[in-house]
A and B are shown apart, each in its own frame.
Chain A
Amino acid sequence: EDKVVQSPLSLVVHEGDTVTLNCSYEVTNFRSLLWYKQEKKAPTFLFMLTSSGIEKKSGRLSSILDKKELFSILNITATQTGDSAVYLCAVDRYNNNDMRFGAGTRLTVKP
């Protein structure tokens, strides 16, 4: 059965720290991996990764995909309290209209 596993499940850091969130997957017909940020309610899109080794960046956030080892990481540098959220990883698959989500990593950034 296809699965997406995120680690850690929760993480508490202080402002200014750098964090790395992990997402590993075992799926058939992999198409892309997506990261979302969920602060209070609606998840909001961060990145879509389809190719190995190509880093995507947006400000202090960056992500990369390893299709050989079947994982992705999301890095956040110089964390701020506004980065506190649940970060969701999801895998989109060819020939499948059900995107498979991980359980999420809850990040808490303390002042």
Chain B
Amino acid sequence: DADVTQTPRNRITKTGKRIMLECSQTKGHDRMYWYRQDPGLGLRLIYYSFDVKDINKGEISDGYSVSRQAQAKFSLSLESAIPNQTALYFCATSDIAGTGAVGELFFGEGSRLTVL
């Protein structure tokens, strides 16, 4: 089984619908991240969390929200999906001492979201 698991793997939805992408990990890492990947733009950070009580916005947080339900679970929500949120979404974890850096990221398999 994968150490970082994302559900659903694929989702097609319509504009205006609420969507939740879920991520769970068995690596025991405190740090969890949500990234979005678009062709030609690389991966961009949406939100990150260092523990259950710590949630931080990334570069492109507008239109998204997150919830860290437990150390192992980090979900991403699109309250009202729009077509330009069509992308491949990755959850990732890292385990690095101290603050102010990321270190090696361990990625989930990705969730492909299509908003019509």
- B residues contacting the other copy or chain, number (CB 8 A): 25
Interface contact A41-B109, CB-CB below 8 Å: yes
User: Is A98 on the interface with B (CB-CB < 8 A)?
Assistant: yes
Number of A-B residue pairs at CB separation under 8 A:
61
User: Is A110 on the interface with B (CB-CB < 8 A)?
Assistant: no
- A residues contacting the other copy or chain, number (CB 8 A): 26
Residue-wise, chain B 66-103 has the 8 Å CB interface mask toward A (1 for contact) of 00000000000000000000001010000000011111
Interface contact B108-A98, CB-CB below 8 Å: no
Interface contact B56-A97, CB-CB below 8 Å: yes
User: Is A60 on the interface with B (CB-CB < 8 A)?
Assistant: no
CB distance from B13 to the nearest CB of A (A): 20
Closest to A43 in B: B107
User: Is B104 on the interface with A (CB-CB < 8 A)?
Assistant: yes
CB distance from B69 to the nearest CB of A (A): 20
A97 to B10, CA, bound (A): 28
Chain B contacts to A: CB under 8 angstroms: 4, 40-45, 48, 56, 58-59, 88, 90, 99-110
Pairs A–B under 8 Å by Cβ, sample size 7: A32-B101, A41-B110, A42-B109, A92-B101, A92-B102, A94-B101, A97-B100
